Amino acid sequence: MKQRIIKYIFLTVVLGFSIMSFAADKNSNLNKSKLIMRTINHFGIPTTTPQAGEVYIDGLKVHLTDFSKSANKIEFLRFEEGSWMPKIIQEVAHIAYEVPNLEAALEGKEVIVQPMEGGPGLKIAFIVEEGIPVELMCFDKTVAAPASAY
């Protein structure tokens, strides 16, 4: 039986938890040369309720909470009418993974938001896997990380 996504998940206890998965592209069997390591960064949950500490991102027409201040790495997203973000992102929770190479991680994927600037030294894109949105994040290690996500 062919699977669209093949994942191996490893749990590690380091100041909470870290989950890494390895995803093969949808057209391949487990081909080790095409595996991309992913590390969970946060979980995004759409809401219609204003949240404490949310900030407004004008270009996306969304209010966001800072997942780096959440014990469970949760980012609440409250979209305004007319946001250009795909409906699936506005309505379905997403998982955000850090990847070492964004372009390689997007190969063979169903891309719903093309790569864009996500902050200083950060490029992000969204894909759909297993029926849900997945955010892929690639940090430029030469740029100092900000104190908070927003």
The yes-or-no verdict on residue 149 having pLDDT over 90 is no
CA distance 110 to 136: 12
Phi, psi (rounded to 5 degrees) for 26: -65, -15
pLDDT digits (tens, 9 = 90+) for 17-68: 445 555 554 554 444 446 789 999 999 999 999 999 999 999 999 999 999 9
pLDDT digits (tens, 9 = 90+) for 65-111: 999 999 999 999 999 999 999 999 999 999 999 999 999 999 999 99
Residue type, 16: G
Give first-to-last CA distance, the chain, whole Å.
Answer: 43
How many residues are there in the chain? 150
Tell me if the pTM is above 0.75.
yes
The yes-or-no verdict on residue 7 having pLDDT over 60 is no
* DSSP 8-state code for residue 131: T
The yes-or-no verdict on residue 13 having pLDDT over 70 is no
CA distance 94 to 8: 19
Which pLDDT score, from 0 to 100, does residue 125 have?
98
Least Cα distance to 70 among 145, 10, 150 occurs for: 150
Is the domain defined by 9-139 classed in CATH 3.10.180.10?
Answer: yes
Which pLDDT score, from 0 to 100, does residue 21 have?
55
Domain boundaries defined on the chain: 9-139
